[in-house]
């Protein structure tokens, strides 16, 4: 198991916050912070999974990195790619070239364009605009062969593909790009076991080529099978980043009480839930976000939001973690 990679991160997200302007009764404008102080990094060759419940806003992380947040979003904190701060111009310049997205929905594919052509276009964009059609075709065919897509598939339209095939086309698109960072947003829902396994294998392959892979998912069991590190997302922020090996036994090696509770709630473990629910962004508790549900909470836990700090080989946002 490769522990913390020594190479420099390809992606560093620090204290990222994302708020949305909202109009409440009358003309009063308020802002709703959906992501608060989120920090995560990805090194080349590494798969980092951001795990959180669906609908909790974690996809916004992908959108922020790609610079495709809606206009009413305000963002603070910093995102660095290959050591350089990601500005709007820089994002524009590298999108699709240095950073590839494997989106949640296969609706992302152009419904009216043959899928082979879509992959060839990605290959062309990656290599500047040199219009070498034969070269692009060769790259596309190799990528198809790699992911068990029959040659005749290249002439199909997206709606003619099965879910698993469409997923493989999306992965092939990332493969032919020169992306050093691949972001996969909720890539496996609705796929059966075999298709999930296949998709995961593709991600490993992308990482083994030296790319960084950021996997955003609600499915912790899948994440545990494939990722090197897990970032646990709770109530709009990362409460822990842990090496995957720490998810074992009774969760003793885990740092945050929420992560431990999540681990123990899995069907393959105790299947034992803790009570309560995640707080809404407009009704966050005082102090630690997990404090109303935390079995370890003390009066100090309401004093302020715990900072993210390094504990053993990971990071945690809990004042009592050791």
Partner 1 sequence: MLLEASEIGFRYSKNQWVLRGVSVAIRSGEVVGLIGPSGCGKTTLGRILAGYERPHEGSVALDGKALPATGYHPVQLVFQHPEKAVNPRWRMRKTLAEGGGPDEQLLAALGIQEEWLSRWPNELSGGELQRFCVARALRPQTRFLIADEMTAMLDGITQAQIWHAVLDYARKQEMGVLVVSHEKSLINRLCTRVVDLTQFC
Binding site for partner 1 (CB under 8 A): 52-56, 162-164, 189-196, 218, 220-221, 261-263, 265-268, 271-278, 280
Binding mask 275-304 for ligand SF4 (x = CB under 6 A): -------------x-xx--x-xx---x---
CB of 116 closer than 8 Å to CB of 168: no
- Nearer to ligand SF4 by Cβ, of 175 and 230: the residue is 230
Q: Does 319 bind ligand SF4 (CB under 6 A)?
A: yes
CB of 4 to ligand SF4, least distance (A): 23
Binding mask 31-70 for ligand SF4 (x = CB under 6 A): ----------------------------------------
- Which residues, at least 6 apart from 123, have a Cβ–Cβ distance to it below 8 Å? 135, 136, 139, 140, 143, 176, 177
SS (HEC) of 210-234? CCEEEEEECCHHHHHHHCCEEEEEE
Relative orientation angle of helices 163-176 and 193-208, to the nearest 10 degrees? 0
CB of 192 to ligand SF4, least distance (A): 36
**Residues forming beta bridges with residue 12, ordered by sequence position:** 41, 80
CB of 236 to ligand SF4, least distance (A): 15
CB of 30 to partner 1, least distance (A): 15
What is the rounded CA–CA span in Å between residue 182 and residue 127?
17
Pair of tokens at residue 219: 């499915």
What is the rounded CA–CA span in Å between residue 69 and residue 160?
30
- Nearer to ligand SF4 by Cβ, of 230 and 294: the residue is 294
- Nearer to partner 1 by Cβ, of 56 and 114: the residue is 56
Interacting span for ligand SF4 (CB under 6 A) from 46-54, 165-173, 190-198, 313-321: 313-321
**One residue of 95, 127, 264, 320 binding ligand SF4 per CB under 6 A:** 320
Binding mask 249-268 for ligand SF4 (x = CB under 6 A): -------xx-----------
Could you tell which of partner 1, ligand SF4, none binds residue 288, using a CB distance below 5 to 8 A set by kind? Answer: ligand SF4
Question: 161: alpha, beta or left, given left = phi > 0 and alpha = psi -120 to 50?
Answer: beta
What is the rounded CA–CA span in Å between residue 276 and residue 291?
11
- Compute the half-sphere exposure of residue 21: CA atoms within 13 Å on the CB side of its CA: 9
Longest CA–CA separation in the chain, Å: 68
User: What is the total count of residues that contact ligand SF4 (CB under 6 A)?
Assistant: 13
- Nearer to ligand SF4 by Cβ, of 174 and 297: the residue is 297
């Amino acid at each position: 198991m490769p522990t913390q990679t020594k190479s420099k991160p390809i992606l560093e997200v620090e204290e990222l916050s994302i708020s949305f302007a909202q109009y409440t009764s009358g003309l009063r404008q308020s802002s709703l912070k959906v992501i608060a102080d989120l920090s995560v990094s990805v090194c080349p060759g590494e798969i980092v999974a951001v795990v959180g419940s669906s609908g909790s806003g974690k996809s916004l992380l992908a959108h922020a990195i790609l610079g495709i947040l809606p206009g009413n979003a305000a963002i603070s904190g910093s995102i660095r790619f290959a050591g350089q701060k990601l500005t709007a111009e820089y994002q524009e310049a590298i999108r699709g070239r240095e950073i590839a997205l494997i989106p949640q929905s296969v609706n992302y594919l152009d419904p009216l364009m043959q899928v082979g052509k879509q992959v060839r276009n990605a290959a062309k964009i990656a290599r500047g605009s040199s219009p070498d059609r034969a070269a692009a075709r060769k790259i596309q065919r190799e990528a198809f062969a790699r992911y068990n897509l029959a040659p005749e598939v290249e002439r199909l339209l997206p709606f003619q593909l099965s879910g698993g095939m469409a997923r493989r086309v999306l992965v092939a698109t990332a493969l032919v790009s020169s992306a050093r960072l691949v972001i996969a947003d909720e890539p496996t829902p609705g796929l059966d076991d075999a298709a999930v396994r296949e998709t995961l294998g593709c991600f490993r392959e992308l990482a083994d080529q030296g790319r960084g892979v950021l996997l955003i998912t609600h499915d912790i069991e899948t994440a545990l099978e494939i990722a090197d590190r897990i970032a646990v997302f709770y109530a709009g922020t990362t409460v822990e980043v842990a090496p995957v090996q720490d998810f074992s036994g009774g969760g003793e090696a885990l740092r945050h009480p929420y992560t431990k509770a999540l681990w123990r709630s899995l069907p393959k473990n105790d299947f034992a839930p803790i009570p309560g629910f995640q707080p809404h962004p407009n009704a966050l508790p005082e102090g630690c976000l997990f404090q109303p549900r935390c079995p370890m909470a003390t009066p100090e836990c309401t004093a302020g939001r715990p900072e993210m700090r390094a504990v053993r080989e990971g990071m945690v946002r809990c004042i009592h973690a050791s």
